[in-house]
Amino acid sequence: MNINPTLKVSIIIPAFNAASYVKDTVKSVLNQTYKNIEIIIIDDYSTDTTWSILTDLEEKNLALIKVFKNYGKGACAARNYGYELSSGDYIQYLDADDILHPTKIETQIKLFTEFGNAIICSGLWGRFYNLPEDVKWEHQNINKDYDKPIEWLVDSWNGNGMGQTSIWLAHRSLIEKSGKWNEKLSLNQDGEFFSRVLMNADAIKFAKESKVYYRSGNSESISQQNTQTIKKATSLLLSYELYQKNCKKFLNLEMVKKGLAQNYLSFMYQFYPLFPDLQKKAEKNFYNLGYKKMWPVGGESFKKIAKIIGLKNALKLRGLVLKIK
């Protein structure tokens, strides 16, 4: 299939204290088989040698790499700033510790050539800790095409898999239509952002040859930091509430309401007995969706207990056990 070589892809990379791995990330972009790219890296006020590494990379690749300091603070602000500076027809968000397979972008560009720019393309991601060669690929139920993107969200909310920031490639018009990354969020920013993008896409096309290597064990990564804080819990609950807002036109569908309700119950399970006010809010949001009774969530053993004595009683029991320990 012939690809229009004039189509440019902007790769936007927020970086904070990424000195140990950002070279590998940028190298994976420079090694892409699709060559019409620009790399925009936003340094989020790093306190290590990230900035000097980035400027050195820029000097050696002036035609491709542009480095800037964040105009705000945080990864979401960095991504928004990077988007404002970009000029590509397609947008690839990439975290500074992840690695793209050499054919990642080319494989997805071929799908746009075949199906048009109203789609969004996803791909395969796998987790590694030390070397990319040791990657464990995530073969999830959501790794497939979707004619209705809302169904991908529902499947993900119900535990059938999760996306990763860098798997997606979208046309600029789709990003523009969906709006900026929410800079108020400190957890699940990518889930909330891409829920909006998916709501504006006509379909999802999955390319199994389009791969992302996801680095785990990085202490600077949001996903690796302690999420049992009031700030992170507030952000997660807000992101779930924004899911509901973002897909309000589908609230007449039972599968959508149940998926949203599942998020609120999962929040209660994750944070109980912490943050009583947030727990009450999550519970209220659940009932406001029209449900009369909570259902079991969590691990299999916990769900068996919750099925017998009810979710709230099971949560209280687990809380007592944890307190004794």
Token digits of residue 256: 């959508």
Q: Is the N-terminal amide bond of 273 cis, ω within 30° of 0?
A: yes
Residue 208 · residue 101 · CB < 8 Å? no
**Each residue of 178-234: pLDDT tens digit?**
999 999 999 999 999 999 999 999 999 999 999 999 999 865 554 455 678 999 999
The residues of the chain that CATH labels 3.90.550.10 are 9-224
Tell me if 150 sits within 8 A of 120, measured CB to CB: no
Q: What's the pTM? A: 0.94
9-224: what fold? Spore Coat Polysaccharide Biosynthesis Protein SpsA; Chain A (3.90.550)
**Tens digits of per-residue pLDDT, 130-182?**
999 999 998 899 999 999 999 999 999 999 999 999 999 999 999 999 999 99
* 5-34 pLDDT tens trace: 899 999 999 999 999 999 999 999 999 999
Rounded Cα gap, residues 67 and 39, in angstroms: 8
pLDDT, tens digit, 9 for 90 and up, residues 283-311: 999 999 999 999 999 999 999 999 999 99
| pLDDT at residue number 325 | 57
